[in-house]
Amino acid sequence: MKIVKQIVFTLFALMFLNAGLNKFFNYMPVPKLTPEQMEAFGAFMKIKWLMPLLATMETTGGILVIIPKTRALGALVLFPIMTGILLHHFTMDPSGLPMVLPMALILIWIIIDNRKKYLPMAQ
């Protein structure tokens, strides 16, 4: 089970690492966006620091999740990003849910798997 977890968590982390690096280097094509998505994306682009911050957090979170000792911290870094992705797909792009829901479940699995590391924060 330990090997399966490492493989699943590494693939999960590589998805975020790839997404973060793509925001820096723009090497993947952007799918066709709806007018509502274009409006939201335009608003994000007006806030100059938002996309670099998001890219940095996705890249950092992905790297942290790959390393077992820092996986708990990586899950905390990626949690708000995953929440935003889920909200986006629930409200604007339901066609992406088959990809996003398993990713969210993997993140929840990582958090549950590392729950003992979070206990000192709750005390």
Contacts of 112 (CB under 8 A, 6+ apart): none
The pLDDT tens digits of the residues spanning 6-61 come to 999 999 999 999 999 999 999 999 888 889 889 988 998 899 999 999 999 999 99
pLDDT of residue 33: 86
CA distances from 106 to 54, 92, 103, 112, 122 (A): 20, 22, 5, 10, 23
What tokens does 15 get?
A: 């998805």
The pLDDT tens digits of the residues spanning 81-102 come to 999 999 999 999 899 999 999 9
Mean pLDDT of the residues in the chain: 95
